[in-house]
Structure formats: C-alpha cells, structure tokens
Structure 1
Amino acid sequence: MRHRALPKALFALAMLCGSGALAGCQLQEGNPGAEIVTQGEQAGQGALERAEPGRSATFLGQGSCAGRGRTTAFTELDCADERATASVLARYYGPREDGPRCPDSTDFVLHITAVNTGTSESESAPEGYACMRDLRPPHPGDPGMGGGPLTVAGDCVYTERHGVVKETACEGSRGHAPEFRVDSTVRTREDCPPSTDLYVQVGGGRPVGCARRL
C-alpha cells in the first residue's frame, strides 16, 4: 500500500483526503513525536470484471468462487471446480470508494462493471465490487506478506521517498527492508500506545494504525 505523509502534528480525518488535495480536509493537532500518513491505493489490485445480465442477485455473491476465463478476467465457477482460484469473502454494490471496507483477509478486489440491458432490472446488473480470497496460499493479504489491497495489523512499510511509505514483506527476504510495523489498529490516535512512531490511516471501523520503527 502507498501512503502519503502529512506534516507532523497534523492528522487527516477525511478518509478520501489524498496527495495534493488537502483543501477542505479537516485537520487537528496531534502528538508531534510521531509522523502521520494516510492510506493510498496499491497499484495492480483492482482487476475488472463484467457482470452477467440476468444474474445481478447472484453473480459473484458471497461464498461463491471464481477463476480466470477465456474471454473475461474472471468467471464464476463452482468452488469444487479445479479451475476455481478464489472465493468471495464479501460482495457490495456501488463504487468501492463509497462502500464498506473489505475484510482484512482480502487478497484482491474485483471491480464489477455495471450492465444495463435497457429491459428490466432482472436482466441488468449494477456496479459493485467483490472482496476475494485466494483458495490456495500464499495469501498476499495476510499480515506481514507485503501485498493485498488493505493495510492491517501486522503489516510492514518502508520509506519509498520523502514523505511516502509503501507496504513490504515483514520478513525482508524480498523487496525492500521493512522500517515500520503496524502493531495494532484503533479508533483514534489517542488509543495508540506512547511508543507509536507512525500513525497510518487504514480505514474501516478502526481507522488508525499504530506503527513502530523496527
């Protein structure tokens, strides 16, 4: 995950405040002893899928499975099918940026494009997204693995450039060496332990990650 660092002693409360777009974002004073970063989107985690007409209520529903098809990125399959590679942990309608956070164990997210046949609702399908979990390891979304679309407790990050950190594997055997570990996620910065070196905006019901330097 990429994270945009804000000036020390400032904390972005708005979830969608991003790099270069701080106007209108509500800020408050905080502990000057720790740097604050906000969550960004990891590149390459948003595969596209097209919903199938007539299957709007069941297409990639929770508990179903999918695998790569011949003409589309993924197609819905029986979970016992040897071609199935991932299962659906959660399924939501509407744009992901406005919708619920995926479960922490999500390995990747499928963005599902809307289908409008111009006939009836049962023959059309709305925009949405599916939170996917690979059926077999390794699981990039697991804590410390250095991948996945979310930042969770147990993940590690390194400084990519001044003011920007990026997720990396905690084991440090591949890629960049980790510099910080997110030890816990809490509701507010005040709930982080005094030893916190970095506050990470991770979203969800516990939107603040308390990270310490390794």
Structure 2
Amino acid sequence: MPCTSERAVAKVLARRNGPVAKGAAVDCPLYTDFVLYVSESVPSAAASGEGSVSRGYACMRNLEQPHPGDPGMGGGPYTVVGDCVYAAAEDQVRETPCDGSGAHAPQYRVVSAVATRPECPSSTRLYVQLTGNQGVVGCARRA
C-alpha cells in the first residue's frame, strides 16, 4: 500500500530475498526500526496482484515516532553510537532506551566507534561489538 494510506504504519527501506539462517545478521540501513521476516507465499486466484512473494526480510522504518532504531531509543537491529546498553548476561549486553523508560535502566552509553580497542578514549568502561558501517568497536562509558 502507499505510505500515504491511513492504514500504513511503516515504510520499507530495503527488501532482501532468500532464506535467513537463524541468528544470521541482517543487511539493513543503519537506522532501521524493525525487521519484518517474510514467508514465501503464492497468492490465490482471488488475491490482487500476480506471482509469488519470495522468502526473505524487509528493513522497516516507522512512519511516525517512535523510531526505536534511532540512537538512544533502545531498539532496532543494530547497536549504534549514542545507544545505551545494560548487562544481560556474562559477555552480553542489550539495548535499552537512554531516557530510562525501558524495562532495564541504562548502564552504559556508546560514545564512539573505532577500528580497534586501543583507539577508545581512556574513559571507556565497556567495549561493544557494533554492526553496520561505523567501525568495529563501540567505546562505552557508564551512563
């Protein structure tokens, strides 16, 4: 449907075809709000449109606020500079909104992205693996 439709809630930023392995990384624009996984289907004769819809995923952006994929908002498929995280398990962090509105309080904020750990500022207290096109290591300070 057109993005101008009153029923539209999100816009497709990118569409990727093919099966997705469980736990595999997605290839979406950096500020994607959520990923919509698509099962393969063939429309019935009564359905509008022709052909089949292939399996894959779509990178989605909400048409209106909130945008969980934006820095500090606590969601999206990527951790980016400006996001806050909390310790979820040993050697594992999860995103949470920086304003404290999430189920978990923010413990660290990612302040920069660098190629290697030694490039992080001396105030770094946690190193976070970042995804997307912004460097390899996230340097995080206490929130």
> TM-score by structure 2 length?
0.78
1:200 to 94, 119, 128: 128
Tell me, in whole angstroms, the C-alpha distance in 2 between the residues paired with 1:125 and 1:93. 9
1:111 aligns with 2:37: yes
1:139 aligns with 2:67: yes
Alpha carbons of structure 1 residues 80 and 201: separation in structure 2 relative to 1, 3 Å? same
Tell me the equivalent position of 2:107. 179
C-alpha displacement of 1:90: 1.6
Tell me, in whole angstroms, the C-alpha distance in 1 between the residues paired with 2:39 and 2:62. 21
1:138-195 C-alpha deviation (Å, 9 max, x unpaired): 1111111112222111110112344432211111244322110011223333432232
> TM-score by structure 1 length?
0.54
Tell me, in whole angstroms, the C-alpha distance in 2 between the residues paired with 1:208 and 1:154. 13
Tell me the equivalent position of 2:12. 88
1:128 to 50, 56, 63: 56
Tell me, in whole angstroms, the C-alpha distance in 2 between the residues paired with 1:189 and 1:115. 45
1:153 aligns with 2:77: no
Tell me, in whole angstroms, the C-alpha distance in 2 between the residues paired with 1:91 and 1:173. 31
Alpha carbons of structure 1 residues 89 and 123: separation in structure 2 relative to 1, 3 Å? same
Tell me, in whole angstroms, the C-alpha distance in 2 between the residues paired with 1:91 and 1:150. 17
Tell me, in whole angstroms, the C-alpha distance in 2 between the residues paired with 1:210 and 1:138. 26
Unaligned runs of 5+ in 2: 44-49
> Residue 116 of structure 2 contacts residue 137 of structure 2 at CA under 8 Å; is this kept in 1?
yes
C-alpha displacement of 1:109: 0.3
C-alpha displacement of 1:128: 1.7
> Residue 30 of structure 2 contacts residue 132 of structure 2 at CA under 8 Å; is this kept in 1?
no
Alpha carbons of structure 1 residues 91 and 187: separation in structure 2 relative to 1, 3 Å? farther
Moved over 6 A (4+): none
Alpha carbons of structure 1 residues 190 and 80: separation in structure 2 relative to 1, 3 Å? same
Percent identity of paired positions between Structure 1 and Structure 2: 56
Tell me, in whole angstroms, the C-alpha distance in 1 between the residues paired with 2:15 and 2:65. 22
Q: Which amino acid in 2 is paired with 1:153?
A: V
Count of residue correspondences: 133
2:119 to 191, 195, 198: 191
Alpha carbons of structure 1 residues 87 and 156: separation in structure 2 relative to 1, 3 Å? same
| Superposition RMSD in Å | 2.4
Q: Which amino acid in 2 is paired with 1:91?
A: R
> Residue 80 of structure 2 contacts residue 131 of structure 2 at CA under 8 Å; is this kept in 1?
no
